[in-house]
Each structure stands twice: as structure tokens, then as C-alpha cells.
Homo-oligomer: A and B are copies of this chain.
């Protein structure tokens, strides 16, 4: 029941281990006849190269890592990561790379996971997501000298390669769309304030809203509860906004529910925009206007870069397409001033 090795194949074929190694790796040094015979035997007994043995020869581990540092309940409800992973794996699978996944609870733990994986030669590189300002993980990974692709804004990725999309542009597009619809009081329910992409959006939002009667950003932890609470507070203020942009879909749905509960009509009294389109945004009534990104493609681009990096190529920052606005029923003209 032991797994077959090249030595077994060699015995069967009546040649040396080396001939088998050459034959199975397409190297010169064996005749075509012998090669065919060896390949046939390998096939027949179901031989697979032992990844440990290969890795031991300084070869690649054929594996990359991803550590996610978010509470389980948020990870579960945010389609983003699963879609990202799907996209990443589409590329990895083609090159027979595996993905090592770990959910951690702190950046310190995350760094520790990287150090361990790298020290144990388990992985050839990692993806880094959810960049913070002065992120200790960046310096840590730079120090390790491991191939890394940062999925996030290059301004904070240090010397590490980055794959990113211009959230600022998406914000500007959204705001000017809302302004064109006659909205003067726009609010934004944002995600975690420490994240770089939150800050980028914050800043772009503030700039795009200059000159408007009112604009405000509220930070949350991405959960529906906080999204609902923020919405309730916003809609309770005397000069309540006529449009709210949410940083994820679960908060947008929560906000929509709050509006309905408070008898605020969507889109007549309130327009809602969700960041990141998802089936969820489309099944609620009215369907949510959303900032659509091709997240699997985003992940695929990151994976391609990481593999290139591992092969020793140098990889300049790659700017993916910005999210684009998909108008649906949740946005409409602002009701003229009452």
C-alpha cells in the first residue's frame, strides 16, 4: 500500500533511478523508447512525485500562502474573500500550485504564520491583504525576503509588489453620479478606519464632496449591526443625507432595512450605493446600485504576479480596473427641497 517511488519504477523498468528521473521530467539523457516505457509504468502504478522530496532539493514548494485576519463572522458574510480565493486558485490550479490558508486573529499572529511557513519551506510566497498604515507586516515580510504580492494600494506596500485598483476613482464616479441626480447631502458608511483602502476612499470622498451642502463619513467594523446603527443615526439627524454610500453590501442591505423600518423611501427619499456588487445586492428590493468589480479577476491578477515573482521575474505594481458603478433601483433623483 506504500506510495510508489521512482525507485520502484526503476526496478520495474530495469534501469536506474536517474534514468527514471530524467524520463519523467522530460530531460535529455534517455532514449524515447525507454522514456515511453518508464512513463507507461509510472502511469500504470499511479506514481506522483513526492512534493517533500522535490522541495528538499531546493525546488519550489509549489504552494503559496494566504492568511486572513478578520473575525469569522465577518469573513463569512463578506463574499469578497471567497471570490478572491476563487480567482487566485483559477491561476494556481493551472500551474499545479496549492494554496495554504489560515485564518488568524491578529497581525502579530499573521506575521508568525508567515515566518513559520517560510521557515519550514512550506510556501514559495504569500499574498498580503487588508493593508494598514505603517503596517508591521510589510517590514516583516521585506525582512524575510520572501516573494509577496500585496493586494492593496502600492503607497504603503514598501518594496513589495502590489496589485491594486483605484478606489478613489470609483468614489469620484459615485459621488458625481449622485450629484448629477441632485443630491447635496451625501453620507458614507465606511469600513475599518485603519485600513489603507478605507483611508483612500475617505480622502477621495471628502475631495469629491467639496462644495456640497453636507458630507460625512462614519466608520464601522463592516458588520450589518454597525451599518444599521450608523444608518439609523444618519437618518435621525435633522439634515439627514439623501444618499448613503456603504463600504460593503451587508451594511448596505442593513441600511436599506433601517430605511424601510423608518419609513424612509428608497430611492425616493434616500439613495443607496453598495461597494462590491454581489448576488445579495441584487436580490433585495429595490436592488442596490453597486460598485462592481471583477473580484475573481483581481485575485487572478495577483496570483499571476506572485507566480512571476517566484520565478524570479520583477513585477511592477499592477493597477487593476477600478470598480464601476452599476445603477439599479436603489438610487434615484433627490427629492427637491421640501
Taking the complex as formed, is A15 at the interface, i.e. its CB lies under 8 A from any CB of chain B? no
Name which residue of chain B comes closest to A71, CB basis: B86
Contact B103 A102 (CB under 8 A): no
* Distance (whole angstroms) from the CB of A161 to the closest CB of chain B: 19
Tell me which residues from 223 to 257 in chain A have a Cβ below 8 Å from any Cβ of chain B. Answer: 223-225, 227-228, 250, 253-254, 257
Tell me which residues from 261 to 309 in chain A have a Cβ below 8 Å from any Cβ of chain B. Answer: 261, 278-280, 282-285, 295-296
Compute how far the CA of A77 lies from the CA of B119 in the bound complex, rounded to whole angstroms: 35
Taking the complex as formed, is A212 at the interface, i.e. its CB lies under 8 A from any CB of chain B? no
Chain A 3-35, CB within 8 Å of chain B: the 1/0 string? 100000000000000000000000000000000
Contact A121 B51 (CB under 8 A): yes
Contact B119 A48 (CB under 8 A): yes
Name which residue of chain B comes closest to A282, CB basis: B224
Of B76, B122, B227, B278, which one neighbours A82 at CB under 8 angstroms?
A: B76
Chain B residues closer than 8 Å to A295, beta-carbon distance: 76
Tell me which residues from 34 to 83 in chain A have a Cβ below 8 Å from any Cβ of chain B. Answer: 46-56, 61, 63, 72-73, 75-77, 79-83
Contact A261 B278 (CB under 8 A): no
Contact B81 A98 (CB under 8 A): no
Identical copies in the complex: 2
Taking the complex as formed, is A101 at the interface, i.e. its CB lies under 8 A from any CB of chain B? yes
Contact B103 A85 (CB under 8 A): yes
Compute how far the CA of A282 lies from the CA of B226 in the bound complex, rounded to whole angstroms: 12
Taking the complex as formed, is A117 at the interface, i.e. its CB lies under 8 A from any CB of chain B? yes
Contact B61 A52 (CB under 8 A): yes
Compute how far the CA of A144 lies from the CA of B296 in the bound complex, rounded to whole angstroms: 32
Chain A 78-104, CB within 8 Å of chain B: the 1/0 string? 011111011101100100101111111
Chain B residues closer than 8 Å to A285, beta-carbon distance: 257-258, 260-261
Compute how far the CA of A229 lies from the CA of B243 in the bound complex, rounded to whole angstroms: 30
Instruction: Give A residues with C-beta under 8 Å from B.
Output: 1, 3, 46-56, 61, 63, 72-73, 75-77, 79-83, 85-87, 89-90, 93, 96, 98-104, 115-117, 119-122, 145, 223-225, 227-228, 250, 253-254, 257-258, 260-261, 278-280, 282-285, 295-296
